[in-house]
Amino acid sequence: MTKTVLITGAGSGLGAAFARLYASQGCQVIVADVNATRADETRASILAQGGHATAFEIDITREVDWENLRLALAEQGIVVDLLINNAGVASGGPTLAADMDEWQWMLDVNLLGLVRGCRCFVPDMLTRGQGQIINIASFAGLAGAPGLGSYGVAKAAVVAFSESLRAELASQGVRVSVACPAFFKTRLLDSFRGTPRMLKTAAKLMDEASQTADDIASAIQRAAAKDEFLIIPTAVERRRWWWKRHFPDLYFTQMKKLIARRTG
């Protein structure tokens, strides 16, 4: 039986990488993105390789968009086996300099967007007694970095949300994983809001990253297939996470030095 995978933010970057990967494994892919043109491009690339894909335009901050997507899939007899909540936005700058509009935008997209997705599609998974969710957070949600305050807070909330879901749904046949990648080559900065200095720093880190979106997608897919909960797809960040948990004072000393370099 063909597995159906619904991926938000699948018009570019990590979402498109997930779409290509799962399509190459024989899955039927639902390409969901706020940008209809990009969603169609991802769909076309999958079809050109002999895969199966359908594209939908969706704004994950709108419950009506989620409901319309659910109804459209139901009318076609499509059941979602795996939901990948990938869509997100980025911002950067001093934490208290972010105004309330930015905080609301960040939480509405990066946290509440995936909450809406889960509320929409998990009930059907529970009815069937099976399903899987992969929520895309960020390493910034595990180890807060200077200049990524609102972004890190939203992503930390994604980790907490995923922990609750995993505990609550495990006995009902629905598996939950949360992935925390760091910087890699992607188009996340297309919607960036923040200071020019932070944008330049983030762009530099992405350009210098050795991992591509395809690399990150493959690492997350392999770990999720083994039902790992907290997925940190790169070795450097796994070491950083180990240092923070075991030597928090040393870790925060390094963070203070990083702030001094950026503001010096």
Catalytically annotated residue among 139, 151, 161, 184: 151
CA pair distance 7, 93, nearest whole angstrom: 29
151 catalytically annotated: yes
Phi first, then psi: what are they for 74, rounded to 5°?
-65, -40
Q: Which helix (H) or strand (E) holds 175?
A: strand 174-179
Separation between Cα atoms, residue 102 and residue 105, nearest integer Å: 5
Please choose, from the candidates 156, 168, 163, 182, the residue with its C-alpha nearest in 3D space to the C-alpha of residue 234.
182
In the chain, alpha helices (H): 13-24, 36-48, 63-75, 100-110, 112-128, 149-169, 196-208, 213-225, 235-246, 248-263
- Active site amino acids: 151
